[in-house]
Structure 1
Amino acid sequence: MTGVVVGRRGRRPAGGGVQLTFEVIAETLRERIRSGGLRPGDALPTQAVLMREFGAASLTVQKAMALLKQDGWAVSRPGKGAFVAHRDHVVDKADDLDGPEASTPANGTTARVEALERALAEAAQQIADLCGRVEALESGSGGRGH
């Protein structure tokens, strides 16, 4: 990431063009996922590793991870860490478009596609969580005759 100015405080400067450190960390990890450096199911770097890599505080790294999870890029597994979310059935943007936009989608189209991808990943994670709960309930009530 060249030319990125990083704000060190929690408030965004009036210019608005400065990324806060947690946003830089989240965007760097998103780019690693998009480029294939990190694949679905891969463990994300630990908090300690990210703190060293970015010279960031613990809370800053936690905010970056929370942002990735909120946007559907990462999931937590209690006791195991954070992992790249499975983004199954995500269609390559260029394959889904016709005409001149196929190679370079307009910013509005790109933003909409990314928002839909995030919503789809979140919905898939919620479905997986619900399936796990149903299985747990079914296996827990099987021996009680309910």
Structure 2
Amino acid sequence: MPLTFEVIAEALREQIRSGGLRPGDALPTQAVLMREFGASSLTVQKAMTLLKQEGWAVSRPGKGAFVAHHDHPDGTHDLDGPDVTAPADGTTARIEALERALAEAVQQIADLRGRVEALELGGGERGR
């Protein structure tokens, strides 16, 4: 059985493939995806990180995540090709390292958010 973040990512991929979401369209917000899938913020963040790593989505700081553009000379879109987002010469390792560091940072932020939410729900009682 796929993990929830994989289910969320596949649902968004399918919306993109079917044309329900087109290149340049905003992807649903984290809050919307959390409600729709009954998922935690960490799970939604993992799904979005996966989509970005695979080249399906791009982030625009302060604006959110959007469907990536994959334009080809013949005017078609190829979102499933394995080399669609392949970086040029030698930058692959650097990009992968940055993506790992970003994923770790997202994990740490999600963990901190979870702690804050737990404290808020617990009425602020600490250490009891």
The corresponding residue for 1:115 is 82
The corresponding residue for 2:58 is 75
Query: Under a length normalisation based on structure 1, what TM-score does the superposition of the two structures give?
Result: 0.54
- SS at the partner of 2:84? helix
- The offset of 1:67, in angstroms, is 0.2
- SS at the partner of 2:83? helix
Decide whether the 8 Å contact of 2:71 with 2:77 is kept in 1: no
Q: Matched residues in 2 for 1:41 and 1:91: separation?
A: 15
Decide whether the 8 Å contact of 1:30 with 1:73 is kept in 2: yes
- The offset of 1:115, in angstroms, is 1.2
1:34/1:118 CA distance change after superposition, 3 Å: farther
- Percent identity of paired positions between Structure 1 and Structure 2: 77
The corresponding residue for 1:22 is 5
22, 36, 44: which is aligned to 2:27?
A: 44
The corresponding residue for 1:87 is 70
CA offsets 1:53-72 (integer angstroms, 9 cap, x no match): 00000000000000000000
Decide whether the 8 Å contact of 1:73 with 1:118 is kept in 2: no
- SS at the partner of 1:82? strand
Cα RMSD (Å) of the superposition?
2.2
Q: Matched residues in 1 for 2:22 and 2:76: separation?
A: 16
Query: Under a length normalisation based on structure 2, what TM-score does the superposition of the two structures give?
Result: 0.61
Higher relative contact order (CA 8 A, sep 6+): 2
Decide whether the 8 Å contact of 2:70 with 2:77 is kept in 1: no
* Runs of 5+ unmatched residues, structure 1: 1-17, 94-112, 127-146
CA radius of gyration, larger in: 1
Greater than 2 Å deviation, 4+ residue runs: 90-93, 116-119
CA offsets 1:11-51 (integer angstroms, 9 cap, x no match): xxxxxxx1000000001000100100000000000000000
Match status 1:57 vs 2:3: no
CA offsets 1:67-88 (integer angstroms, 9 cap, x no match): 0000000000000000000011
Paired letter, 1:38: L
